[in-house]
Structure 1
Amino acid sequence: MTFRWLCGVLRVRGKTDLLLVFLFAAGFAALPVFALLPSLWGFAVASAVTYAVDEVLHTRSPAFVRRLAALQLTRTMRFAVRTVMLLALADRMDAPGAVLVAALAVFAAHFTLVVLYTAVHHAIRRRRTLPVVVRNLDMSGAGIAQSPPALLYRRFLRKLLHLDLPAHAGLLVALALGSWQPAGIGFALTTGLAVAAVTALLGQLRRARRMPSGDEVIAELNRQLAGYRPEVALYFSFASVSRDFMYQVNMWIETLEQLDRRPLIILRERASFRHLSRTSIPVVCVPKADDVAQLELPELRVVLYPGNAGKNVHMLRVAEAKHVFIGHGDSDKLASSNRVSKVYDEIWVAGRAGRDRYQRVRHAISDSAIVEVGRPQLSSIRLHADHVPGPLPTVLYAPTWEGWSDDDCHTSLIPMGVPLVEKLLAQNVRVLYKPHPLTGKRSRAAAEADRAIRELLRADNERRNGAAGQAALAAARPRLGELSGRLAGDDAQQTREARVAGPDGAAEWHELRAAWHRIFWESRGPVAHQVITQQLPSLYECFDQADILISDVSSVVADFVASLKPYVLTNADGLTDEAFRAAYTTAGGAYLLDRDCDRLPEILDAVREPRHDPMAPGRRILKEYVLGPDRPTSTQRFNAAVNALAEKAATEQEERCEGRQPLVAGLPG
């Protein structure tokens, strides 16, 4: 328990990271000791350790690095401490006054140049901040300048601060040899490189001054939109935490790509743009409400909203379009029948269960405003009858998050997550652990349980796979990175390079994603546990890998029902089975598991011995109730709903225009 608490406080993931933190702290603590003794070789080793471990922690434990910054122990401060200790060591070893003065001048000049470089960098970044970020529209006519070279622009502070290495190394060598020439060489290298870096960046500042104005960029965007003529828009905003919510958009991309009408994706936060999945659909990120108002979308007829957010009002004001809440999954949570949904023209749900859920919100949502469209995202999910089991039963544990407050907390992580995983490991199964993207954002207890589960799975993997599994994973990682398709450059560079996607773009990306998934699972092996937190592998790919799902009341369960595989709902509140099934629709086909997890061996028999699966008939009935009929397909039903609503909006727009004509004609001349 002490180990978990310590990992939670320091925000590290396991024993290795914790050891690195202790090594990091010991290195910095040793610097003043060796400087004052003085001990040249002890100081050199401690200094090298602090340099090396600092870099490793930035990669392995960014949360710990952020915790240091919150305590004012920023990277710059750590470099300054190391420099001061080096000067103290030189003084204690009776270095000549001229050398000390030169060292002080060089290090002061270096930090001054770092400040100057940072100021220039910020000036360039401000000039390169556009009012919009665009993908899949040809923005070459906007005249956006080329991004500065990555060597000068990306992670600049990390690179600049490390220019003190020649000066540090030169002074240490000089102290060891008693000759001050190495110090002079090191001082010259540090100063020269820092001056060259600032000079090079000033040249990039001149180029940044040629950036177009915001009005010019939006004018070019409107020209491109006029040529594309979007009819359907997916609109998404979720404030500062948008990157953690981007799954709400990504799940709809393939569905939008299959519409008869031309789609557009509108985002409101820059952070979300970089977490958008690959798509051939034009995408526009517009952070400011004033700029949203400048978008010219005369043929837009339907706007789809996967989430409820305050910034939705900036698009709801468009009277010419019909506004639809499509959500990001049907579940038995209260959020899936929110009274706020009344602001939309229609609410689209998967099946009859969604319609009935809104009946609970009495006198708020009209039944005629609810349309059942199915869940098009689930069309590719492999059915239970087509599933090929692996050497071990595969259990997908996908708990939901802790919620915005304890009142609506549905996660099983806090009350039973750790003992559940311990008992799963005792049953000799393979665990795929996919926590909700927001797990631990609000609750420290949820974060601690999450870390504990990851550590349990890591330790069991070491016991099962050893070095062979790690070697296979390391060998596959470069190829996986190559196939992931991440975009390079800042927002302005991505907009500069934006082009209309070719007809084969979507097919190529689907092939790349399939290859990514194949390599991912092959490199992990058929028995290794997996902790899945990134966009890839996708949730639905995890469905295909799993023999059984264990989850909480959430849309994950409703989606998993499409596979007809067995699934388990956690009953952490200790309700009776009858009361739990009465409260939650998706419990109709579920096995129920309380905090003690005593039923777990019996439930796993449904996987090991499919004949012992009494809930199978219930799942078949529940599937149609929750997700709608299989025919017509969800994709066809969703597309038909878009077409019908777009035609309705167009008809109403024509009627409004015709209604204004007599009034205009009757005005006095």
Structure 2
Amino acid sequence: MALPIKQVGREIVRGVPAQAVIGGIVVGAVAGALGARWVCLVALTASVIGEPFLHRRQHLVVRALRTLSLGLTVRIVFRLLCATAVLAHRPASSRDVFLLVLSSALLVLGRALYVFTSGRLTARRNPAVETRNVPLDGLDVPKPPPAWLTRWSGSVVSAVELLIIVPACLSSRPGSPVVWLAPVAVLAMFAAAIWCELGARRAERTLGPADVVAVVQRHLDESRPAVALYFGDGPRAVYQANMWLPALERLSQPSVVVLRNRASLGALGPTRLPVLCVPSAEHLMALDLSTVAVSLYVANIGNNIHMLRVPGIRSAFIGHGDSDKKASFNPYSRVYSQVWVAGPAGRQRYREAAVGVHDGDVVEIGRPQLDEPATPARADDHVPTVLYAPTWEGWDDEQAYSSLATHGVALAASALREGSGVRLLYRPHPFTGRRDPAVAAAHAQIVEMIEEANRRDGGSAEPVLEPATDNALTEIHDRFERAVRSGQLDAPLSALEAEAQLRAVEDQYWRAMAPGRHAVMTQQGPSLLSCFAQADVLVTDVSSVLSDFVSTGRPYVVCNNSGAAEDDFLAEVPSARAGHVLGPDQDVEDVLRLVRGESPDLLADERRALRRELLGPDSPSSQYRLERAVEALIASARPEVREGVQASEFHIEGVTAR
């Protein structure tokens, strides 16, 4: 992936760690060449101290330096060379020079060994099956290594490096005792490496994959989950799984969540459901999942095949929102036993696309996430609000629905104009800028424009939203220790409890926000449904955001960045027909007039009709329809599980047992 040069430059200019690390080496090199030992010492010390902060806070700069072959090892060598260069200007003995140079070389070697052994220790402390809410009784788990040895390893290296830099710069006479700090640094580096290796070997003896799989299997045999929610992607996409956790907890059938990416486990929302993170296909296949009758898939990921190949499990694609995107009728969907959509429009998409999904395999379940919409209180002095929620640019040009590069900046400029009478809430997609630099640039520009507008208007600081988390777990960084403690919790925070708590803090957030303050709504902020409640008008692209917003009954605008005429666009995007279409050359002021209520709302009746088409009927509830769909699919997979159940019992708007 190409480096965003401008963004890297901005991070260096604004980031103190990057300035300290890079500037310290440059100044240290000049000072070392000139023999200015105190300047050299201060510069190199600042560079060394800045390293841990650089790696924690400025990942883009770290990646840029690595791309330029200026990784951490090279930077360490540069700093040691700068320090030893000072000796050329001091009356040091040949023994001192030899001791410092040899210590520098051994330090680099010791660090390489430390990186290798600490990596082995971390790997051995990563369970073959990482869990949440699963008792690990009977597993002999050694105490985790000290945080400074693994998690804060950069600080260890920095401290040891200073033990060579300081004597090299401060040695003022031959035979100075300060130079003996250098061998101490080498010994400390090798001692840390040996400690990590001993810990890795102990973990290897007691925490082998077979031991972990056996303990997890015992839990599966006892809990006998019938439903599995499968998620194979990384943490940036984990919202796709999070949105289904409350609905899954409401099911009467015992359920389990199966993840494939370790980072996703940390990003997964609170839940009382047992969670298994199984990165290796080998270990997934080693688990006996014979009690699982139905697996639910939220995204079309290649590693879905590892679960799809398990005999006896019926599969259903539930997605993460319906829309007119091509991804909503992907040919990949024909690999599943059934495809569950929100309403009749979802069924019609598959009919028209003719991608091999049989009409009888499409089940309409509504959107359980919309059964209880968020309704945070609006301020008495509510300012007309436009929610701009563009999608991302897609994996290729065929799926490039994002309006950021074509409409976003112009819309933001109008809404943020002084005296516009409109508040802008900007909610970018989590994948924004992943593929197209133009989209990334437009996103960055809109964020800057919002910050500038708030400074201009003298608004107060944006409130801080702190969603519910299980602090007892989030503060534990060792994966095995976190899994053990999670399995010991009597009542872990559930997705339903977290949802209720989030709505409470969201209400406080909106009450605390100054009227008229513009804001960027990230994934760490209020939920999308909470933003819906604040918006008078939505401006979006072809995406599931549009379909979900229809549930509010309020006006919406769809950006047409395809270049097609409006009639042709509506033929391709029927969900836009009850809204206003904004072409790339149309005046965005029309949108602001709609937000301020200056333009008549002539499409309310069409939106009500579209709501049923996109989301299905209001009754029975979507959660009820989901429950019946699960029951029906279980019955079709395991007739003995639902003995005597007739298909007619589940015939609710396309929900039928087969």
- Which of the five TM-score ranges fits, normalised by the shorter chain? 0.7 to 0.9
Which of 51, 58, 68 is the matching residue for 1:71? Answer: 68
Which of 146, 165, 168 is the matching residue for 1:168? Answer: 165
8 Å CA contact 2:80–2:164 kept in 1: the answer is no
8 Å CA contact 1:237–1:311 kept in 2: the answer is yes
Which of 402, 405, 412 is the matching residue for 2:393? Answer: 402
CA–CA distance in structure 1, aligned partners of residues 586 and 42 of structure 2 = 51
- Report what 2:632 is aligned to: 644
- Report what 1:619 is aligned to: 607
Once the two structures are TM-superposed, the CA of residue 491 in structure 1 deviates from its matched residue by: 3.1
Once the two structures are TM-superposed, the CA of residue 53 in structure 1 deviates from its matched residue by: 5.1
- Report what 1:658 is aligned to: none
**Aligned AA for 1:411?**
S
Q: TM-score, normalised by structure 1?
A: 0.86
Which of 231, 235, 253 is the matching residue for 2:226? Answer: 231
**Aligned AA for 2:244?**
W
**Aligned AA for 2:584?**
R
CA–CA distance in structure 1, aligned partners of residues 33 and 557 of structure 2 = 62
Task: Give the number of equivalent residue pairs.
Answer: 639
Once the two structures are TM-superposed, the CA of residue 271 in structure 1 deviates from its matched residue by: 3.0
Q: Deviations over 1:329-366 (max 9, x none)?
A: 10001110122212222111101111111111237222
The 3-state SS of whatever aligns with 2:357 is coil
CA–CA distance in structure 1, aligned partners of residues 563 and 105 of structure 2 = 64
The 3-state SS of whatever aligns with 1:396 is strand
Say if 1:533 and 1:383 are closer, same or farther in 2 by CA, change over 3 A.
Answer: closer
Residue 432 (structure 2) pairs with residue 439 (structure 1): yes
- Report what 1:497 is aligned to: 485
Say if 1:582 and 1:652 are closer, same or farther in 2 by CA, change over 3 A.
Answer: farther
Residue 455 (structure 2) pairs with residue 462 (structure 1): yes
Say if 1:500 and 1:26 are closer, same or farther in 2 by CA, change over 3 A.
Answer: closer
- Report what 1:150 is aligned to: 147
- Report what 1:35 is aligned to: 32
The 3-state SS of whatever aligns with 2:216 is helix
Which of 302, 306, 317 is the matching residue for 2:298? Answer: 306
Q: Deviations over 1:40-81 (max 9, x none)?
A: 344344334534555554344311211211222112221221
- Report what 2:651 is aligned to: none
Once the two structures are TM-superposed, the CA of residue 26 in structure 1 deviates from its matched residue by: 4.3
Residue 96 (structure 2) pairs with residue 99 (structure 1): yes
Worse-matched range after superposition: 545-554 or 370-379: 545-554
CA–CA distance in structure 2, aligned partners of residues 482 and 469 of structure 1 = 27
**Aligned AA for 1:580?**
F
CA-based RMSD of the aligned residues comes to 3.3
8 Å CA contact 1:170–1:187 kept in 2: the answer is yes
- Report what 1:321 is aligned to: 313
**Aligned AA for 1:352?**
P
Which of 560, 567, 583 is the matching residue for 2:549? Answer: 560
The 3-state SS of whatever aligns with 1:589 is coil
Once the two structures are TM-superposed, the CA of residue 22 in structure 1 deviates from its matched residue by: 6.4
**Aligned AA for 1:621?**
A
Q: Deviations over 1:617-661 (max 9, x none)?
A: 322221111111111111111112111221232217899xxxxxx
Q: TM-score, normalised by structure 2?
A: 0.88
CA–CA distance in structure 2, aligned partners of residues 7 and 390 of structure 1 = 41
Which of 182, 185, 190 is the matching residue for 1:190? Answer: 185
The 3-state SS of whatever aligns with 1:92 is coil
CA–CA distance in structure 2, aligned partners of residues 104 and 133 of structure 1 = 44
The 3-state SS of whatever aligns with 2:607 is helix
Worse-matched range after superposition: 629-638 or 431-440: 431-440
**Aligned AA for 1:441?**
R
**Aligned AA for 1:355?**
R
Which of 571, 578, 595 is the matching residue for 2:567? Answer: 578
The 3-state SS of whatever aligns with 2:577 is helix
CA–CA distance in structure 2, aligned partners of residues 545 and 354 of structure 1 = 27
8 Å CA contact 1:383–1:562 kept in 2: the answer is no
**Aligned AA for 2:359?**
D
CA–CA distance in structure 1, aligned partners of residues 156 and 527 of structure 2 = 35
- Report what 2:136 is aligned to: 139
Q: Deviations over 1:288-331 (max 9, x none)?
A: 22322222223222111111222222222334232111111100
CA–CA distance in structure 2, aligned partners of residues 196 and 522 of structure 1 = 55
Say if 1:515 and 1:284 are closer, same or farther in 2 by CA, change over 3 A.
Answer: same
Q: Deviations over 1:193-223 (max 9, x none)?
A: 4455345435534532432322222121111
8 Å CA contact 1:432–1:532 kept in 2: the answer is yes
- Report what 1:377 is aligned to: 369
Once the two structures are TM-superposed, the CA of residue 13 in structure 1 deviates from its matched residue by: 5.3
8 Å CA contact 2:553–2:607 kept in 1: the answer is yes
CA–CA distance in structure 2, aligned partners of residues 212 and 52 of structure 1 = 35
Worse-matched range after superposition: 437-446 or 274-283: 437-446
Which of 70, 78, 83 is the matching residue for 1:81? Answer: 78
The 3-state SS of whatever aligns with 1:365 is coil
The 3-state SS of whatever aligns with 1:348 is strand
Which of 442, 446, 453 is the matching residue for 1:449? Answer: 442
Q: Which runs of 5+ in 2 are unaligned?
A: 644-658
8 Å CA contact 2:231–2:260 kept in 1: the answer is yes
CA–CA distance in structure 2, aligned partners of residues 367 and 442 of structure 1 = 34
- Report what 2:245 is aligned to: 253
Say if 1:519 and 1:12 are closer, same or farther in 2 by CA, change over 3 A.
Answer: farther
**Aligned AA for 2:341?**
V
Say if 1:133 and 1:591 are closer, same or farther in 2 by CA, change over 3 A.
Answer: same
Specify which structure has the higher proportion of helix: 1
**Aligned AA for 1:149?**
P
Within a 5 Å distance, the mapping from 1:177-576 to structure 2 comes to 181=176, 183-184=178-179, 186-187=181-182, 190-191=185-186, 193-194=188-189, 197-198=192-193, 200-205=195-200, 207-238=202-233, 242-362=234-354, 364-382=356-374, 391-426=382-417, 427=420, 429-465=422-458, 469=461, 486=474, 488-499=476-487, 502=490, 505-506=493-494, 508-510=497-499, 512-514=501-503, 516-517=505-506, 521=510, 525-576=514-565
CA–CA distance in structure 1, aligned partners of residues 34 and 119 of structure 2 = 42
Say if 1:77 and 1:465 are closer, same or farther in 2 by CA, change over 3 A.
Answer: farther
The 3-state SS of whatever aligns with 2:425 is strand
8 Å CA contact 1:400–1:410 kept in 2: the answer is yes
CA–CA distance in structure 2, aligned partners of residues 520 and 262 of structure 1 = 35
8 Å CA contact 1:139–1:221 kept in 2: the answer is yes
**Aligned AA for 1:90?**
L
**Aligned AA for 2:338?**
E
Name the % identity.
34
The 3-state SS of whatever aligns with 2:178 is helix
**Aligned AA for 1:223?**
R
Q: Deviations over 1:536-589 (max 9, x none)?
A: 433223323333322110111111211223222111234333332222122122
CA–CA distance in structure 2, aligned partners of residues 401 and 89 of structure 1 = 53
Worse-matched range after superposition: 183-192 or 130-139: 183-192
